[in-house]
């Protein structure tokens, strides 16, 4: 990254950020941005970081002016919020703007214990296997829980139908408990994200597992209706997954702000995202980038490729780089 003249705000600025539960990547990003921004703002500048869930609550907090900046996962759900589709059906939020995308290469993966004989969604539909699936709750906030239900519906399996043949869900807000339930035999299947984390490595090592591919027609419908992109779980990325598996992309964190954020604040925040990336990248250097929950090095041309409009001041930062 070429060295750039550092911007500065002379007045004291107080900001409110919303991250995750407190110990994951969104909170770490918020802490990084808070320090870098305050170092370049007037004396007395400070930032509060609120805990959050990284789902629809991130949008609500911006729209209701409860916070100045939040992050939502995966990034493409920002389009749903802007357009009023999916989990934001009928409630568009055209006032949303982005500062950029924080890179994370992730997938939503359906893994089933091999003993149940489910290798495809067709198997699940035809055999009506009463699986106990470990996932997150579909409560209108959690994007994993909503995503799992929409994916199953796109494959012709509504939640009600699945429950009617004896299927069930065991649910937790975060991925690790669900993965541990599956690993320890307390669930028949797991349907979740965070594939780069150690618990997913433990899953395939602990029990023989079928990684169930999603159907092209289902993914095409989700792309058309919600702008949700497909992805590939690469063969051998996880133990027991020897071949590429077609699935749903679940990548990246979208940095959200309101359209009325002051230009100098939006500019400085985005400048810090681009020009002080090394300060957060080095916190992940002990993990190979392809297995890191935050991929590095950051690429400004990818950071600006947001599913909703950039704040004009943020766009100016990327334009100045020629990205």
pLDDT of residue 3: 57
Contact (CB, 8 A) for 238 and 183: no
End-to-end CA distance of the chain: 11
Which of the four CATH numbers 3.30.300.20, 3.40.190.10, 3.30.1330.10, 3.40.50.300 does domain 107-249 have?
3.40.190.10
Q: What is the pLDDT confidence band of residue 323, given thresholds at 50, 70 and 90?
A: confident
When pLDDT is cut at 50, 70 and 90, the band that residue 204 belongs to is confident
- Name the pLDDT band for 237 (thresholds 50, 70, 90): very high
Residue 25 has pLDDT above 60, yes or no: yes
Instruction: Return the axis-axis angle of helices 263-275 and 25-38, rounded to nearest 10°.
Output: 110
The predicted structure's pLDDT at residue 201: 95
pLDDT at 32: 98
**Domain locations in the chain?**
14-105+252-321, 107-249
Task: For residue 54, give the nearest of 250, 300, 285 by alpha carbon.
Answer: 250
Number of helices (H), then strands (E), belonging to the chain: the values are: 13, 12
Does pLDDT of 321 surpass 80? yes
Compute the distance between CA of residue 190 and CA of residue 178 in angstroms, rounded to an integer: 7
pLDDT at site 4: 63
Q: Which residue has the tokens 């002990």?
A: 286
Q: What is the pLDDT of residue 227?
A: 97
The structure's pTM equals 0.97
Does the pLDDT of residue 2 top 90, yes or no?
no
**What proportion of the chain, given as a percentage, has pLDDT over 70?**
99
Phi, psi of 69 (to 5 degrees): -150, 140
Over 60: is that where the pLDDT of 241 sits?
yes
Does 14-105+252-321 carry CATH code 3.40.640.10? no
pLDDT in tens, 31-68: 999 999 999 999 999 999 999 999 999 999 999 999 99
Q: Are 7 and 40 in contact (CB under 8 A)?
A: yes
Do the domains spanning 14-105+252-321 and 107-249 agree at the CATH topology level?
Answer: yes
Estimate to the nearest angstrom the gap between the alpha carbon of 121 and the chain centroid: 24
């Amino acid at each position: 990254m070429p060295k750039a003249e550092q911007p500065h705000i002379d007045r004291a600025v107080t900001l409110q950020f919303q991250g995750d539960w407190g110990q994951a990547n969104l909170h770490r990003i918020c802490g990084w941005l808070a320090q870098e921004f305050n170092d370049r703002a007037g004396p007395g500048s400070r930032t509060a970081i609120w805990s959050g869930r990284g789902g629809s609550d991130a949008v609500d907090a911006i729209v209701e002016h409860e916070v100045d900046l939040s992050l939502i996962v995966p990034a493409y759900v920002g389009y749903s919020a802007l357009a009023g589709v999916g989990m934001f059906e009928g409630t568009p939020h055209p006032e949303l703007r982005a500062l950029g995308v924080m890179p994370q290469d992730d997938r939503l993966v359906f893994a089933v214990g091999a003993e149940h004989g489910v290798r495809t969604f067709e198997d699940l539909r035809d055999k009506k296997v009463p699986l106990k699936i470990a996932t997150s709750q579909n409560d209108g906030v959690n994007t994993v829980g909503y995503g799992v239900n929409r994916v199953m519906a796109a494959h012709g399996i509504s939640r009600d139908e699945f429950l009617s043949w004896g299927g069930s869900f065991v649910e937790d807000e975060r991925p690790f408990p669900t993965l541990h339930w599956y690993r320890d035999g307390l669930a028949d299947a797991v349907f979740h994200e965070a594939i780069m984390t150690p618990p997913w490595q433990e899953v395939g090592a602990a029990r023989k597992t079928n990684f169930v591919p999603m159907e092209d027609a289902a993914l095409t419908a989700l792309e058309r209706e919600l702008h949700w992109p497909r992805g590939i779980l690469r063969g051998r990325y996880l133990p027991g997954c020897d071949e590429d598996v077609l699935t749903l992309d679940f990548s990246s964190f979208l940095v959200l702000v309101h359209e009325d954020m002051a230009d100098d604040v939006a500019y400085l925040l985005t400048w810090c995202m681009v020009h002080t990336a090394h300060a957060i990248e080095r916190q992940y250097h002990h993990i190979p980038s392809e297995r890191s929950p935050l991929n590095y090095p950051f690429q400004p041309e990818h950071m600006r490729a947001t599913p909703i409009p950039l704040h004009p001041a943020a766009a100016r930062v990327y334009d100045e780089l020629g990205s």
